[in-house]
Chain A
Amino acid sequence: MIRAVPSRSPIPLMLLIAFLAVPAIAGASDTSFLIVMATRVMIFAIAALSLDLILGYGAMVSFGHAVFIGIGAYAVGIGAAHEIYDGLITFPIAILAAGLFALITGAICLRTRGVYFIMITLAFGQMAYFTASSLSAYGGDDGLTMWGRSEFFGVAVLNDPTVFYVVVLGCLVACWGFARALVSSRFGRVIRGVRENRVRMQAVGYDPYRYQLVAYGIAGMMAGLSGALLANHAEFVSPAYMSWQRSGELIIMVVLGGMGSLHGAVLGAVAYLVTEEVLSHYTEHWRVIFGPMLILIVIYARGGLSRLLDRTGSGADG
C-alpha cells in the first residue's frame, strides 16, 4: 500500500521551533557549547535526511552512505590544503563530486537487490575509505587539519558560531523542503511505486533503474553538502568520516526516527546524538544504557520515534 506523504504530523514544526530556540537559549545561558553541538546534530540530520530519501522511499539500504559525507568533506579539506577557501568553489565541487561518485557506484550497485545491495554499497564504501587512508599528501590515516573555514564573497562568515548555525539550519530546511517536494512529485511516486512493486511499475512502462539511479545521485549530493559543512565544523577531515561504522550510524538514525517520513530521519539524528551526549555526561559506559534503549524502541515502538510521537500526540493508535 502506498501511503500518502504524511502532512498532518506536527513533528516538522516542533523540530523547527526547537532548532530556532537553540540560539536564544545558548545566548541566554551564555554557552557556545550548545550551539556548536546543535550545529553538529543538524549536519548529521542533513545526511540522515538524504539517506531516508533512498532508504525510506526507495528501499535502497545504502551501507556506504558516509562515503558521500567523506567526499564532501575532503573536497573542502583538499581545497583548504591548496589555499582555496572560497566556499563558492569548494561547496559546489563537494556536492558534484559526491553526486558523481553516487552515480558511478550506483550504476553498479543498483543491479543488485536487498542484502546484496547493502553489501555492495559497503564494498564501495570500504574502497573509498582505504583510498582516503592512502592519500598521504592529504594526511593519510591521520586526517587533514584545515587552517580556516570556507569564505563566502571573501568573508569568513562561518567563523561566527551563530552565523554558522543559521547557515546549517538554512541548509537543513532547504534540503527538507526539496526532499518533500521531490517525494510528492511524479518522480517520488515512481520511486515509492518501485519500492512497493517493481514488476508492476515496469509493466506500467517505467524503467525503475533510471529513477532509482537519479534518486541515489540526489541523495549523494545532499550527503556531500553535509560533508562540506562537517569539514568546516570540525576544521578537520579524516578517513574515519567514511568508515562503515559511520554509515551504520546513519542507518540507525533513520530507522530509530522512523523511515519514510523525512522528518523521522531528522528526529532520529537528534535523538541519537543528543542521547549519546547526555548519557556520556553521566557515565563513560553509556552504551550499556543506550543499547537496551534501542532494543526496547524496536520491540515496543514500531515505526520509530516519529510514529510514537504522532500516536501519543493524537491520542489514538494511528
Chain B
Amino acid sequence: MTATLLAVQVLNGLQLGVLLFLVAAGLTLVFGVMDFINLAHGVQYMLGAYLAVTFHQLTGSFFLAVPLALAAALVLGLLLEFLVFRHLYDRDHLDQVLATFGVILFLNEGVQIVWGSAPLSYPIPALLEGVIPVMDGFGYPIYRVALILVGLATAVGLWLVVTRTRVGMLVRAGATNARMVSALGVDIRRLFMIVFGFGAMLAGFAGIMAGPILSVEPNMGDGVLILAFVVIVIGGIGSIRGAFVAALLVGLVDTLGRSFMTDIFRTVLDPSAANQVGPALASMLIYVLMAAVLFFRPSGLFPAVGR
C-alpha cells in the first residue's frame, strides 16, 4: 500500500515538474538571452488555459482546441512583446518588474471581465479518460500519464532545438553574451522576438494541459510564476538543462513533502505537534531547497557559462 502510494505521489510529482518545466523553459530563456525579468510569464500560462476553454466551447473537441489555443497564445505573446516588452529591453530590471507587474494586473482583471471570476474547466478528452492500473486495484488516470509523456517529449524536442539547430545555437550564444552575438551580425531583436513568442507559447501550453485537471481561474498564474522563478534560479538562469532538472526536483520535493512530511514527523513528535509542523514545513520545503542551493552554489546548479 505504501509502495503504491509512493508510486502515485512520484507520478504526481513528475506531473507538477513537467508543467513547471514548460513554464520555466520560456522564463529562463527570456531571462538568460534578453536579460529581461518577465513577471507576466505566469499570466501567459493562465491565458493558455482560458483560450483552451473558449476554443473547447467553440469546437467541442479537445484536440482541435489545443492547436487553436496554442496559436492564439503565440499571437498574444507576440502582441505583448510588440506593445510593451520591446520598449523595456534596455531598461533597468526594476523598470521591467514594474511594467510587467502592470501587465499582470491588466490581464488578471481582463480575464475576469471576459470570462467571469468563477472557476472554469473543460473535460478530459474521451480518448484519454480512464485509469491505468498501477498495483492491487489502484489506478492512475491516463490523462495525467499522457501529460507527463507529452511534457517529457516537449523537453526532448526543446533540447534538440537548442543544441542541434542554428536558432538554438544563437539562443545559447545569446545567453552567454548577447552583445557579442549582435556584433557578429545577428538581428538580435528578431531573435528576442522568436524566443519571446516561443516562451509565451510554452507557458500557454502548460496552461492548456493543466486546464482539465486544475480549475481555470483568474490569478492561477501567480503561484506558478513564483514556482517557475524558484525553478530557474535553482537550475541556473539561462540553462534549459538546469530548468529541466530543477523543475522535476521542485515538483517531486513539493509533492512528496506534502504527502509524507506529516507522517514522518509523527514518528518523532506527538500527533498534534506533527499535524502543525508537518504541513508548514512541507509548504516551505522548496524554499529551503532553493536557499540551500544558493548558499552552496550562488549561481544555481547549471550556471550558463559567461554569466
Contacts and interface: CB of A to CB of B under 8 A. Distances in A.
Interface stretch (A30-38, A81-89, A107-115, A176-184): A107-115
Contacts of A136: 276
Contacts of A112: 294, 298
Contacts of B280: 130-131, 133-134
A298 B290 contact: no
A255 B95 contact: yes
A255 B299 contact: no
Given A133-B280, A287-B108, A299-B99, A108 B233 contact: no
B291 interface: yes
A292 B103 CA distance: 7
Contact of A255 (B31, B87, B97): B97
Interface in A88-127: 108, 111-113, 115-116, 119-120, 122-124, 126-127
A297 B298 CA distance: 34
A136 B290 CA distance: 26
Interface string B271-307: 0000011011101100110110011001110000000
Contact of B291 (A108, A115, A245, A285): A108
14 contacts: A108-B291, A115-B31, A115-B237, A122-B229, A123-B288, A127-B291, A248-B101, A251-B94, A251-B97, A255-B94, A291-B105, A294-B98, A299-B87, A302-B95
A294 B98 CA distance: 7
B229 A119 contact: yes
Given A126-B284, A130-B284, A252 B98 contact: yes
- Looking at chain B's contact residues, is the secondary structure mostly helix, strand, loop, or mixed? helix
A252 B101 contact: yes
B228 to A, nearest CB: 11
Interface range for B: 35 or more
B60 interface: no
Kindly name the residue among B102, B104, B112, B276 whose own CB sees the greatest number of chain A CB atoms within 10 A: B102
A144 interface: no
A126 B287 contact: yes
Given A252-B101, A288-B109, A288-B110, A244 B226 contact: yes
A61 interface: yes
Interface in B71-107: 84, 87-88, 91, 93-95, 97-99, 101-107
Nearest to B230: A119
Given A131-B280, A255-B98, A298 B298 contact: no
Contacts of A55: 94
A15 interface: no
Contacts of B276: 134, 136
Contacts of A259: 94
A248 B98 CA distance: 9
B94 A119 contact: no
A293 interface: yes
A288 B229 contact: no
B291 A123 contact: yes
A187 interface: no
A287 B106 contact: yes
Contacts of B287: 122-124, 126-127
Contact of B109 (A115, A123, A291): A291
Interface residues of A, number: 42
A295 interface: yes
Contacts of A111: 294-295, 298
Contacts of B108: 287
Interface of A: 55, 61, 108, 111-113, 115-116, 119-120, 122-124, 126-127, 130-131, 133-134, 136, 244-245, 248, 251-252, 255-256, 259, 285-288, 290-295, 297-299, 302
Given A116-B294, A285-B112, A295 B94 contact: no
B113 interface: yes
B37 interface: yes
Contact of A119 (B98, B105, B233): B233
B294 A119 contact: yes
B294 A115 contact: no
Nearest to A113: B298
Interface in B236-283: 237, 276-277, 279-281, 283
A120 B279 CA distance: 21
Interface in B202-243: 222, 226, 229-230, 233, 237
A291 B103 CA distance: 6
Contacts of A115: 31, 37, 93, 233, 237
Nearest to A298: B99
Contacts of B101: 248, 252, 291, 294
B291 A116 contact: no
A120 B230 CA distance: 9
Contact of A298 (B31, B91, B107, B283): B91
Nearest to B110: A288
B94 A287 contact: no
Nearest to B95: A298
B99 A127 contact: no
Contacts of A119: 229-230, 233, 290, 294
Nearest to A121: B291
A287 B109 contact: yes
Given A248-B101, A285-B112, A292 B106 contact: yes
Given A248-B101, A291-B101, A291-B109, 5 more contacts: A61-B93, A111-B294, A123-B288, A252-B98, A288-B110
Interface string B108-139: 11101100000000000000000000000000
Contacts of A122: 226, 229, 287
Nearest to B277: A134
